[in-house]
Amino acid sequence: MQILGAVLESVGEPAPFAASRPLTVGPLELDEPGPGEILVRIETAGVCHSDLSVVDGSRARPTPMLLGHEAAGIVEAIGPGGSDVAVGDRVVMTFLPRCGRCDACASDGRLPCPAGSAANSAGALLRGGVRLHRDGQPVAHHLGVSAFASHAVVDRASVVRVDPDVPPDVAALLGCAVLTGGGAVVNAARPAPGQTVMVVGLGGVGLAAALVALALGHHVIGVDSLDAKLEHARACGVQETSTPEQLLDTGRTAPMVIEAAGHPRAFETAVLATAPGGRTVTVGLPSPDARAAISPLLLTAEARTIIGSYLGSAVPERDVPRYAQLWREGRLPVERLISARITLGEVNEAMDALADGRALRQLIHLDGDAGEQPEHERKDQHAHV
Ligand SMILES: [Zn+2]
Ligand SMILES: [Zn+2]
């Protein structure tokens, strides 16, 4: 079938992307879903730092690639052999498919599935190969999803079914920002009831970590160098906020510290702000060349632990319904992560807003046919958060 999608043509175009336009929106050919795969009509797709990391070259991926991995949509067709999801179901995309048969999948979410990771690096689906073509040439998938498009064919393992009362904007956020940030708290840090949780870096993932910690009754300290992000965190209920400089001046520490900025300086700040005996969880994705300086003596003499967490050490089938239930109970207002609603045609501008730190989550709304909304329905204000 013909679909509309936003394709990254080449890596490393200079910012501002509104001028260099590394992504082009146009028609592509999408294959039928194969065995174990499904066709999803995308309703909402969030613009995440992991998309920007491919655009700016800090995560090496093949091009051309149809970007987008944080999304929700409706199942439109099932591949040969059937599935346990049905046509009409709403599904959340998750960005690391699990084969379900290896040691990593058998343990829990701490170890990424090697087969899923290999497929993601190759820009392929879990069962191999691409389902996207343009002018007869293959187009790579992003993280098994490729959701900046009217439709996507994905492996069944790349989706989690959600109840229809969870609206597409909320559902999309559960698949990346909430799964990653929340998982850093509940799966990796595992704070005891009442323990203080500090979050360094208050972008989409960091704020999601803070919201999940608040939902579970923890006192939360938010740290960011941008005043607007600290203000927004306070408006979301974060009890204490600080810039990294203030934090080092005051010597404030916490037993559980989440680093969600993906920057080596933020990682150093997070380690220094971890109390003796405490845990530092790093969930941000820095460039492969980034190096941090920490004292090994801090680890031994103060009995600290540093934990790396990918995708929030999540088991999506287990974790997404838990977050959906917290949202349903009014305890996890994930809507606070949304800073703008945009159209597919504004995806290059959205990358600039994310790179500048102006945006939290910008949600692309797709209508399933043309992938663009009428002009009068556009809400393209970029809130300064
Ligand atoms: Zn993401
Ligand atoms: Zn596996």
362 secondary structure, DSSP code: E
Beta strands 137-141 and 132-134 are: antiparallel
What is the mean pLDDT, run by run of 10 residues, along the chain of 385 residues? 97 95 98 98 97 92 97 98 96 94 87 94 97 97 98 98 97 97 97 97 96 98 96 97 96 98 95 97 90 93 94 93 98 96 97 92 79 40 40
Residue 105 alpha carbon to ligand 2 centre in Å: 4
Contact 370, 26 (CB under 8 A): no
So what's the pLDDT on residue 288? 85
Backbone φ, ψ for residue 197 (5° rounding): -120, 125
Number of the ligand closest to the Cα of 50: 1
- Tell me how far apart the alpha carbons of residues 148 and 46 are, in angstroms, rounded to a whole number: 9
Residue 139 alpha carbon to ligand 2 centre in Å: 25
So what's the pLDDT on residue 285? 86
So what's the pLDDT on residue 341? 97
Residue 96 alpha carbon to ligand 2 centre in Å: 10
pTM of the model as a whole: 0.92
Number of the ligand closest to the Cα of 315: 2
User: Which contiguous run of DSSP H or E holds residue 26?
Assistant: strand 23-30
Residue 143 alpha carbon to ligand 2 centre in Å: 15
Kindly give, in sequence order, each residue whose CB lies less than 8 Å from that of residue 112, ignoring residues fewer than 6 positions away.
96, 104, 310, 311
Name residue 47's amino acid: V
Collapsing DSSP to helix, strand or coil, 256 comes out as strand
Q: Which residues crowd ion ligand 1, with CB under 5 Å?
A: 48, 50, 70, 176
So what's the pLDDT on residue 384? 40
- Tell me how far apart the alpha carbons of residues 146 and 67 are, in angstroms, rounded to a whole number: 5
Contact 158, 14 (CB under 8 A): no
Number of the ligand closest to the Cα of 112: 2
Residue 176 alpha carbon to ligand 1 centre in Å: 5
Number of the ligand closest to the Cα of 155: 2
So what's the pLDDT on residue 380? 41
Number of the ligand closest to the Cα of 98: 2
- Tell me how far apart the alpha carbons of residues 147 and 155 are, in angstroms, rounded to a whole number: 13
Collapsing DSSP to helix, strand or coil, 118 comes out as helix
- CA 122: distance to chain centroid? 19
Residue 302 alpha carbon to ligand 1 centre in Å: 33
- Tell me how far apart the alpha carbons of residues 6 and 22 are, in angstroms, rounded to a whole number: 10
Residue 71 alpha carbon to ligand 1 centre in Å: 9
Q: Which two tokens stand for residue 21?
A: 């336009």
Contact 20, 36 (CB under 8 A): no
So what's the pLDDT on residue 376? 38
Residue 251 alpha carbon to ligand 1 centre in Å: 32
- Tell me how far apart the alpha carbons of residues 221 and 253 are, in angstroms, rounded to a whole number: 9
Residue 24 alpha carbon to ligand 2 centre in Å: 34
- Tell me how far apart the alpha carbons of residues 270 and 10 are, in angstroms, rounded to a whole number: 34
Cα–Cα distances (Å) from 51 to 141, 285, 318, in that order, read 12, 12, 25
Residue 137 alpha carbon to ligand 1 centre in Å: 26
Residue 109 alpha carbon to ligand 2 centre in Å: 10
Name residue 65's amino acid: M
Beta-carbon neighbour count of residue 371 at 10 Å?
24
So what's the pLDDT on residue 170? 98
Backbone φ, ψ for residue 176 (5° rounding): -125, -65
Collapsing DSSP to helix, strand or coil, 301 comes out as helix
Residue 272 alpha carbon to ligand 2 centre in Å: 35
Number of the ligand closest to the Cα of 102: 2
Token match 């679909």: residue?
A: 3
